[in-house]
Structure 1
């Protein structure tokens, strides 16, 4: 057919896929490929490798021949260890409530596939990591957003606006707390109000809680009251962000997604888990089979060791993250025109630069200019929805010397564009 082919005959993907947003974070990162001197703070991962005890466990499992298929829902020792881990943080959770997945993002897709279909209405709180917004659209669902408000204390939820959006015809609420990119943390009282509302209207909740361990309780109105993290069975040292698992029975319409990527620095391993009603597990197993079949056996063995031996590491990591966060907030606050707040959770600062450099081109072009002219890699706020335009995201999971060099590059960039 060649040049005479009609547009209708082109081999296109289906319309819902063609309409998906491409990742602007990747677009900025691609602009930095081949530039060896770029400081990359665009992705949500640490500049440190996975701890040696976890890497060694994977090597030993490979040497022992752990290269075969496993149960769709994960190996029994890992599911049992995760059930114990979740029970210690959030109350009694059985092995029949836990499934292992090939990454946290795979867990989000599987969770959505369990409950969402074409034409369903989904509500999400934004700004938000774009994967969460686009996943229901792949399934043909209609996504509506409720924006956080930005004010003198940072990002906050208008609870009444969210509840008003959760109409009886809504199928699903997807919420990420602690939040990527803002670091906002949903309070216990907000979770309770939302859960009660969703119970009344039969609305499912998918809670992305992959940053739950990266929670800085002093920034969330102290250690007590409605905003406090759940100390679980092991006391204050294992404090985590408020979770829907603290409030919901395990047989309710609540699915919580988590990942090994953040608390144990395992981003490249692609290992996650789901906590969900036991009645869903047979159907979830079918979805795992038709998506990935199972997570790799040797990776699951590494995850088992992370859960069993990694608590002290996770606690040190949170302390180090808080130090890096506070250091970067202080450093950025010395730059004229920068508006930055210390968030209560996650691993990002979501802040604004002087209006003179934001201009009319938007955060995407600004971040490309930062890569090109300052060799500094940040994520554009527009990647997280229109509510994020005007902001940039900086992942502070790095040593302070590296952060200081990034701030120095940003200062030179701003000085060149905002003289005087």
Structure 2
């Protein structure tokens, strides 16, 4: 006996999202951390955030705004005072005029990435991403149906490096967008000005959009530089450059979920529509806090930069004293990215470290297949806890699993 299933009740169909969403991979970092959260014996270094709370004066600005009843809808692109503040901040930072007509306030940096992708990408578009990379940057284009190609950084002379000549060979007129993050999460690789010039010249010739994740641009280990090299410094009218940024890292505001997007002014009307259909707007008390961070938070950024330079040196010196470890040099961010000889599977190793010695590190495979075998250690943490973590790593290596 056969059955005609064409008229089967909709209630009998499987409850499934679209195939592109089903194909997404859950974050291995979250998988590892969620399983160990609540364990008091675990030292967690897997997330990318400082162990310090947001500065009191920034928190106070939000509380004051709430007390004044500023809880209503705001403009899609953000309050004009904050857009103007971001534009002034960036203009001074990069020594180039950036008008508020190029600035949109977004509900987090990752929302800015999604908005930029929705703005520019069609299903089937080709996106090239410099990897290893925070997975949200590569998965968001995939969610929208784009094809993502990965271009891996190399380790040359003990330092994370980009083969610009080979990269340019992969970027042609059928490439819609180049994705890059500098300083890079997880490696800390930081682009040079001459590399920006070469890439921008090539992308101008081929009409390629450049989407920059600049969230870590202030977090350089060389304290003589106030910011990492930026495509924004090279922008001229007509360039296809977008810059994503956030208050999360430099101002220790990870939980606030507020960022910004810099784009050509020609895109702003359409961007405002997309923000309306995604989140409508950002809560004003959060915008007040962000503005206060810009106005009065430069000392906080400086203190964090100094602290990161110290904690990186401490952690790198400790790890390099262990023979089995390879640890390339890097220019910025808040991570040490390293691998241990004889441990090719990041997830297996990360689980063993948690289960055997209570050390929580991010597995490298979370950032792409080219990073399997590596581990990411966030060092925006109290120095004593970092030393305790290294001691746990030594304990693991002295007594490896059978």
Query: How many Å separate the matches in 2 of 1:88 and 1:276?
Result: 18
Matched with 2:40 is 36
Match of 1:147 among 141, 148, 152: 152
Are 1:322 and 2:317 counterparts? no
Q: How many residues align?
A: 395
**Cα distance, 1:394–1:8 mapped onto 2, change above 3 Å:** farther
| 2:162 counterpart residue number | 157
2:63 partner SS? helix
Q: 1:60 aligns with which of 58, 64, 82?
A: 64
Deviation at 1:411, TM superposition (A): 0.8
Corresponding residue for residue 77 of structure 1: 81
1:5 Cα deviation (Å)?
Answer: 9.6
Alignment-derived partner of residue 125 in structure 2 = 120
TM-score for the superposition, normalised by structure 1: 0.91
Aligned 8 A contact 1:363 1:392 in 2: yes
- 1:188-203 equivalences in 2 (<5 Å): 188-203=193-208
C-alpha spacing 1:411/1:288, structure 2 compared with 1 (3 Å): same
CA RMSD of aligned residues (A): 1.8
* Counterparts of 1:301 and 1:69, CA distance in 2: 14
For residue 184 of structure 2, what is the aligned residue in structure 1? 179
Give the structure 2 partner of residue 210 of structure 1: 215
Q: Is the 8 A contact 1:250 1:276 kept in 2?
A: no
Paired with 1:165 and 1:30, the residues of 2 have a C-alpha distance of 38
Consecutive unaligned residues of structure 1, counting only runs of 5 or more, are 224-228, 230-238
In 2: Cα distance, 1:8 partner to 1:127 partner: 42
- Paired residues of 2:350 and 2:360 also in contact (CA < 8 A): yes
**Which secondary structure state, in structure 2, belongs to the residue aligned with residue 71 of structure 1?**
coil
- 2:322 aligns with one of 327, 330, 335: 335
Matched residue, 1:235: none
**Structure 2 matches for 1:323-402, cutoff 5 A?**
323-355=310-342, 358=343, 362-402=345-385
The corresponding residue for 1:233 is none
Residue matched to 1:98: 103
State the partner residue of 1:234. none
Q: Distance in 2 between matches of 1:351 and 1:7?
A: 50
Cα shift readout 1:338-377 (whole Å, capped 9, x = no counterpart):
112342110001001131xx15xx1012111111111111
Pair 1:413-2:399 in alignment: no
- SS of the equivalent of 1:305 reads helix
1:153, distance to aligned residue in structure 2 (A) = 2.1
- Rounded Cα–Cα distance in structure 2 between residues aligned with 1:8 and 1:164: 50
Instruction: Report how far residue 155 of structure 1 moved.
Output: 1.1
Q: For 2:98 and 2:239, locate their aligned partners in 1 and report how far apart those are by CA, in whole Å.
A: 13
Report the TM-score when normalising by structure 2. 0.95
Equivalent-residue separation in structure 1 for 2:371 and 2:252 (angstroms): 26
Q: 1:307 aligns with which of 294, 300, 314?
A: 294
d(CA) in 1 for partners of 2:146, 2:348: 30
